[in-house]
Amino acid sequence: MLKNQDTKKSYGKLYGVGVGTGASDLLTLRAVNILRSVDTIAIPRSSLYASSVAWRIASPAVGKVEGQEHLYLEFPMTRDSSLVRPAWEKALGKIEKVLLQKKSLAFITEGDPLFFSTYIYLHQEAKKRWPGIHIEIVPGVSSFTAVASVASLPIADGQEKVAVIPARYGLDDLPEILRSFDTILLMKVSSVMPELVQILEKEGLLDCSVYVSRATMPYQKIEYNLKNIQNDSCDYFSMVVVRKTERSGVLMGATSQDKTAKPN
C-alpha cells in the first residue's frame, strides 16, 4: 500500500483557457487572473515561424509576468494525421515535463476551449496519460456569439432550433439541415464558399444569410450579399449565419416577408 503511494505520480494543475475570438477586452476576468498566476502558459501556433492567434489576443490583457514560462507548441494546420500525430506527441511530452515538476500550466485557445478547439485533444489525452490530474476549464467567448453580436443578429429565440455545421467537411446534407433548423451556423466556410452560396441560392435563403470574418478582430468584415465574396479567398476566421424567422414569427408576430438576415 505504502509502496503504491510512493510510486504514484502527481502533477501540476492543467487549465484549458478560452481567450475569446479576437478583442483582448473580451477575455474573462477569470482567464486573465489564471493566466497571470500559472507557472507556464502553453501557446499553440501553426509553425515555428508563425505567431499565435490565441496569444496575440491574450497578451495585451495578461502582460509580462516575472518568472512565468511561455511554452510554444507547434500544430501544423493540416488534416493529415501522419503530420498531426507526431506534433501532438512532441507537444504532450513538453507539457508532461512541466506538469511532472508540479508546475501549473494553462493551454490557451482561441474562442472557447471545448468548441472546435485544439485543446480538446489535450483534454482527452491528459485524463488518459496523467491519471488523477486536476483540470479546470475556463470558457471563452465563442465565435458564434461574437459573430452574432457584430452582425447584430439573434441566434435563437423561443422554439427555434439551431444547427452548427463545420462546412469544410462536406455540404451534402446541408439542404436537409437548412430545411429542418431555424438558424444554421456554418463554421470553417473559407474553402467552400462558391458551393455554399449555390446551395443557399437554390434553397431561397441567400437573403437570410450573412458572412462574417474576423469578428471582434482587426479587419472584421460583414457581408450581407454573399455573391459579392463567393469567389474571394475567404478568411480562415469566417462564418456564415443563416437565420430564418419563420418560427419566431409565430411568437413575435412577424410575417414570412420578414425573412432577412439584416439587423433592424
Residue numbers at the binding site for ligand SAM (CB under 6 A): 21-22, 110-112, 115-117, 142-143, 146-147, 187-188, 212-217, 236-239
Give 238 or 245: the residue with its C-beta nearer to ligand SAM.
238
E strand or H helix at 223, and its extent? Answer: strand 221-223
* C-alpha span between 264 and 151 (Å, rounded): 11
Which residue is associated with the grid cell 455540404?
A: 171
Give 130 or 138: the residue with its C-beta nearer to ligand SAM.
138
Give 59 or 238: the residue with its C-beta nearer to ligand SAM.
238
Long-range contacts of 44-49 (CB under 8 A, 24+ apart): 44/73, 44/74, 44/75, 44/91, 44/107, 44/108, 44/109, 44/118, 45/72, 45/73, 45/74, 45/75, 46/74, 46/75, 46/76, 46/77, 47/74, 47/76, 48/72, 48/74
C-alpha cell at 39: 507557472
Question: Whole-number minimum distance, CB 220 to ligand SAM, in Å?
Answer: 8
Question: Whole-number minimum distance, CB 218 to ligand SAM, in Å?
Answer: 10
Which residue is associated with the grid cell 503530420?
A: 83
C-alpha cell at 165: 455545421
Residue nearest to ligand SAM (CB): 111
Give 55 or 237: the residue with its C-beta nearer to ligand SAM.
237
Give 200 or 239: the residue with its C-beta nearer to ligand SAM.
239
Question: Whole-number minimum distance, CB 142 to ligand SAM, in Å?
Answer: 4
How many Å is the maximal CA-CA distance in the chain? 74
Question: Whole-number minimum distance, CB 255 to ligand SAM, in Å?
Answer: 31
* C-alpha span between 23 and 20 (Å, rounded): 7
Which residue is associated with the grid cell 496519460?
A: 129
Give 12 or 111: the residue with its C-beta nearer to ligand SAM.
111
Question: Whole-number minimum distance, CB 147 to ligand SAM, in Å?
Answer: 5
Shortest CA distance to 23 belongs to which of 127, 145, 174, 118? 145
Give 234 or 248: the residue with its C-beta nearer to ligand SAM.
234
Secondary structure (3-state) at 170 = coil
Question: Whole-number minimum distance, CB 21 to ligand SAM, in Å?
Answer: 4
Question: Whole-number minimum distance, CB 247 to ligand SAM, in Å?
Answer: 25
